Amino acid sequence: MTRAPANLLAVRSLLLTHLDNAPGPDDLEPGEVGIVGDSAHRGGYHCGSDRVVVNDYSVVESPRDRAGLTLDAAALDVGQFDVRSGGRTNTLASFSVWCVAQCAANAADTRDIREIIYSPDGSTVKRWDRLGKRTSGDSSHRWHTHFSFFRDAIKAGRDQRPLFRRYLSSIGLLEDDMTPEEHNWLATVHKNLTVLDGRNPVGQIYTRMALGEDATVPNFTSAHPTLRSIGAQLSALQTALTALSNRDFTDEPAIVAGVLASLTPEKIAAAIPPNMAKQVADELARRLVA
């Protein structure tokens, strides 16, 4: 039986904690935040392995989904709300547009989101798809926004609340609701940042970053120097230095010609020791006769 995973239940609880009973004409009700599709629902991210269909797009289009398929649903629907906070009116449409902008910017806390189906104005339905497969959805998304998460992230139990915490903070409904356990988790992350050799998940992430790789973006190209590009440059420099070190930069004939060009006959004669003068004179005479 398809089940609601703990990490999406945590997102649901977070949104309801701060948007249900919030100031405004229309808060978010528990019945408006759903994870598992109803009993008639077949196929898609609201279904687990017992309800997917043949060639289900929520399974076959990404290796992350194929590897992560379990009985867990991997989607969240958020219904309409109209709340006042931070001197502004905050609605489902503005929430959806904000989330899509974060995804389009590839913010770190969005990379487990496959798609968002939403309406920016309550009329037009749009779809942001990380895989670039689709651009729209059915009309029901005029009054609710759909989030699909890559199934491997759900299977791994990865916390999906950070993006939604940032939204609630941005509209002034959340300051710091982190539990002592979560603060301890941050301390652990801070400690792990000092271990970047791949011995733990944080180290593996930073190792990929240093090499210019991205686990979620195929054919990622870094805009900055990486360990790989710097290594290639150092190898090329070492090869050039080795080639230079093997060259003979001494040009003896040129040195002799340069020295002789600066000497006059008087200087040459003065430089010859007396005991060699007759030998030099005899050798010169022999060469002149020859």
Query: What is the C-alpha separation between 92 and 26, in angstroms, rounded?
Result: 10
Residue 261 amino acid letter: A
Instruction: State CA 7 to chain mean position distance.
Output: 22
Instruction: State CA 280 to chain mean position distance.
Output: 80
pLDDT at 168 over 80: yes
The pLDDT tens digits of the residues spanning 240-250 come to 888 887 777 67
Query: What is the C-alpha separation between 258 and 269, in angstroms, rounded?
Result: 18
Q: How confident is the model at residue 193 (pLDDT cuts 50, 70, 90)?
A: low
The pLDDT tens digits of the residues spanning 84-121 come to 998 899 999 999 999 999 999 999 999 999 999 999 99
pTM of the model: 0.62
State the pLDDT at residue 206. Answer: 66
Instruction: State CA 16 to chain mean position distance.
Output: 30
Angle of helix 161-170 relative to helix 6-19, nearest 10 degrees? Answer: 10
pLDDT at 173 over 70: yes
Helix spans in the chain (H): 6-19, 57-60, 63-68, 92-104, 151-155, 161-170, 180-192, 201-211, 227-245, 252-261, 265-271, 274-289
What does the mean pLDDT of the chain come to? 87
Question: At 115, which helix (H) or strand (E)?
Answer: strand 113-118
State the pLDDT at residue 256. Answer: 72
Kindly state the tokens that stand for 238.
């070492």
Q: How confident is the model at residue 189 (pLDDT cuts 50, 70, 90)?
A: low
Kindly state the tokens that stand for 134.
């689709």
Q: Which is more confidently placed, 129 or 181? A: 129
Place of tokens 């004179």: 281
